[in-house]
Amino acid sequence: MAPYLQSVLRIVAAFMFLQAGTMKLFGLADGDAGGGSLPVMSQMWIGGVLELIGGALLVLGLFTRPVAFVLAGEMAVAYFQFHAPQGFWPIANQGQPAVLYCFIWLFFSAAGGGAWSLDALLAKRRT
């Protein structure tokens, strides 16, 4: 049962994460991060691209481990650059999502995508 629930967690978390990217890049979901007006190659734009593409790959469970590792790093940078300077506690500096995503992606970088992933399907085909 655990490999299936692992996949459910990956899919739901990745879908939520993907929405952050669409908000940053396209202004979807009524976000306030610039929505299509972010300068190309700016730090926020690069974050949006990582969230959109990385989130989509994680929804599918494709290249789960390396993608999750990169996204864990992105969330660590986001926390320490934008949230931590506003105070020590994540509840006070509004950094809870960054911390949670960082550790969720770190988990998937070690554990893989679970039973319902393209990574698992490709591994079966190789054997």
pLDDT digits (tens, 9 = 90+) for 32-88: 555 567 899 999 999 999 999 999 999 999 999 999 999 999 999 999 999 999 999
Rounded distance between C-alpha atoms, residue 5 and residue 125, angstroms: 22
Write down the pLDDT at residue 4.
97
User: What's the mean pLDDT in 90-98?
Assistant: 97
Task: Transcribe 53-111 into DSSP letters.
Answer: HHHHHHHHTSSHHHHHHHHHHHHHHHIIIIIGGG-SSHHHHT-HHHHHHHHHHHHHHHH
- Give the pLDDT of residue 38: 84
Say whether pLDDT at 118 is over 60.
yes
Looking at residue 17, what is its pLDDT?
A: 97
| pLDDT above 70 (res 14) | yes
3: pLDDT strictly greater than 60: yes
Decide: 45 and 38 in contact? Cβ < 8 Å.
yes
Q: Which residue range is the domain that position 108 belongs to?
A: 2-126
Question: What percentage of the chain has pLDDT greater than the value 90?
Answer: 85
Task: State how many domains the chain has.
Answer: 1
| pLDDT, mean of residues 87-93 | 96
Whether residue 9 contacts residue 117, with contact meaning beta carbons closer than 8 Å, is answered with no
For residue 36, the model assigns a pLDDT of 64
Tally the residues of the chain.
127
Q: What is the pLDDT of residues 20-31, one digit of tens each?
A: 999 988 887 665
pLDDT at 37: 75
